[in-house]
Each structure stands twice: as structure tokens, then as C-alpha cells.
Amino acid sequence: MRTLAVLLENTRGSLLAFSMYSDLRTREDSALWLKKQASVPVEIIRLTPETIYLGEIIQVFPAVPRRCFLFFDVESAFPKILGYLNLNREKLFQLGHALVFWVRREGLRRIAEEAPDFWAWRSRVLDFRTGEKPERGQIGLHDSVIGHYTLEQIQRQLESLEESGGSDLASQLALGRRYLALGEFERAEAPLERARAEAERQGDQLGLAAVLYLLGHCRFAHGFFDEADSLYSNSLKIACEIGSNEVISAAARQLSVVALHNGDMDSAIGYANTMMQIAILSGNLTALAGAHDHMGSILAGSDDPRGAEQEYLAAVKYEEQLGHRSDLALTLGKLAHVYEEMGDSARAESVRKRAQDINSSLQISPSRQSESS
């Protein structure tokens, strides 16, 4: 629990964390301790099958100061809340509070598998379970750094890498990436720093750009946005010098995210434009969809609903061509929110219904998901 208290103290703005527990006494005692020790007000929200609109619940409280919301009995709101979380990720994060979901192991697995876009924005998974051996695995995970693996597969890869004891750049980079995928940012830093030293020794500029980008993730996860900005900027500079469009796009996207956290809308849009230009040059439909979606999110947050609408519609077009239905559902959810902001409730409801229909059709059983991994 001290880890969570420190995390709240050392971060600003939005934060998403999950706390696993095995008994109610541990959960309740931990929450009481946090309410006394945390540097921000702590609110406990107990969910029911009817309480799934978390954004509306949070907005009942004053926007200032920043608060920490502990959500209890999350599983009681399944399955409805899973679709809500996946479709309203942006809205919840724009509220600027810390959100901590207390779940059992099975609940965590379902969130990871059935609300993957929401899960992807986690900062930390904390384990408060007692009387049972902590287990990894069987949590569906899509991480852009390493592709689609289950945590069990990543753990096996880690064990293999650790046993090999390889000190070369590729081994250390792979080790750091997999720790990042597990959300173990502290453990990722050591192999990534070794990879940085090795890349600098070899004069491997592409390797160095990749390492700096990943180290930026570590600093960003801890809330050290200035350090993250510096690392992403150096990664972008090197990538521009060697002409690595993939790293340019990735670094520019993260720099725009940092700029948004710092309230620098002009820089956020500028970096997003860089990402867009790379996507256009590459002609890659996935990159184009991602660039338009990202720009739409920025414009939606800068009170430009018309601009956001056009960007989201462009993303929808590419996602439809690609058949990326999970991404399509998420983008449609954002578009519905834009229409609400524009006062067009009929279009908002129509688009939201389409997103919900797609999301419902994607709810496959855990066994089938495992088979498709």
C-alpha cells in the first residue's frame, strides 16, 4: 500500500492502477490506511450492476483538488462495465484523477481480455493477495512494443533470457521490453540502461533510438514527464538523422502525449502532425488510422469538436478497411462523445449504438481467446 501512496504523491493528473486482493479485510484495511496516509483525498466507490457510468460518478465530486478513487466490487458490474471502460478511456483520463480498481485475479484477467484498450493505459498492477501464491499468465495482452503475447508467454521468454545471461544489445533490449510489457518499470530500467551503454559503445544509432524511446516509457510511468520528454526527444532526433520512420512516428506520438499532460496543446498538435506526415508517406493504413485517431483525441480536448469529428471519421474509414473492429468500436465511442459535445444527441446515440454492437460481438470466451493468441 505504501507503493500506491508513493505513486500518488509522485504523479500528477490521470493515473490508472489495479490492485489484486484475495480477502475483504485486506481490501478494507488497505483502503482505510490509504485514506489516512495519502497526499490526496481518497474516495471509495462501491459498484453495483447498475453503476457503470464512472465518468458521471466522478464528476459529482469537485474537479479540484485531484482525488484518488478506489473502485470496489468491480466484478459485480461485469459485463456491462467492460464495454463502458473500453469505450470511455479518453473521457475518464481527461478528468485528471487517480483511478484504482480493486479486483480479484479473475476480474483482472477479464478486464485485460475484454477491455484491452483501457487495460493498455495502466500504470501499475499491485498485488495485495494473501494466502495464495501470486501467479502470472492467462491475461491477454497486446503491447505495441513486443506484439501479442499472454503474460505466461512473456514470463517464459523472460526466464529464457535471464537463464541465457546474454549481455549483448539485443538480449538486454529484449529483456527490458518484456519487463515493460509486464508493467514492471523498475526492473526494465537496468537492462535498458545496459542496452543503452552497449548501443553507444557499438555506435548503433537505431538501437540507441529504440532504447531511449523505451526508457522514456519508464520515466513516463513514474510521472517524471520532463525526463520522459528528454528521452523521447533524443530518440526522435536520432531517428530523424538515420531516417527511421517507425521510431520517428512512435517518439512523436509519445511526445504529443507528454505535451498534453503538460497542457502544451500547440506542441501536442505539432508532434501529432509529424506522426501524420510519416503515416501518409508510408501509406500504411494502420499507421494512418492511428494518426487520425490520435489527432482526433487531441482536437477533442482542445475544444475543436468539428476538427475532432473529421479526424475520427478518417480513422473509422481506415479501420473499416482494415477490419480492425476493436479499434473501430473505440473510435466510434470517441466520435459519439464528440457528437454529444456538439449537441447532436441523435447522431451520438446512433454512433454509440454501433460501437456497442461491435463491442458486444467481440466478447468471446476466455478459452477461445487463449486459442487465438
Instruction: Label residue 150 by pLDDT band (50, 70, 90).
Output: very low
Cell of 352: 454509440
Answer whether 217's CB lies under 8 Å from 180's CB: yes
| Domains of the chain by residue range | 2-135, 136-203
pTM of the model: 0.58
Q: Which helix (H) or strand (E) holds 225?
A: helix 225-242
Answer whether 28's CB lies under 8 Å from 2's CB: no
- Residue 303, phi-psi category: left (phi > 0), alpha (psi -120 to 50), beta (remainder): left
Nearest-angstrom CA–CA distance, 58 and 56: 6
Answer whether 231's CB lies under 8 Å from 213's CB: yes
* Residue 15, strand partner residues: 98
3-state secondary structure of 183: coil
Closest CA to 71 of 36, 108, 39, 114: 108
Answer whether 44's CB lies under 8 Å from 31's CB: yes
3-state secondary structure of 69: strand
Determine phi and psi for 197, rounding to 5 degrees. Answer: -60, -40
Nearest-angstrom CA–CA distance, 71 and 52: 11
Q: Where are the beta strands (DSSP E) in the chain?
A: 15-20, 42-46, 68-72, 98-103, 124-127, 140-143, 147-150
Taking only the tens place, the pLDDT of each residue in 167-196 is: 678 888 888 887 776 667 778 898 899 999
Taking only the tens place, the pLDDT of each residue in 246-275 is: 889 889 988 988 887 788 889 989 999 999
Answer whether 137's CB lies under 8 Å from 151's CB: yes
Looking at 3.40.50.150, 3.40.50.12060, 3.40.50.620, 3.30.950.10, the CATH number of the domain 2-135 comes to 3.40.50.12060
Nearest-angstrom CA–CA distance, 16 and 136: 20
* pLDDT greater than 60 at residue 149: no
Q: How large is the angle between the packed helices 325-341 and 80-87, nearest 10 degrees?
A: 70
* pLDDT greater than 90 at residue 101: yes
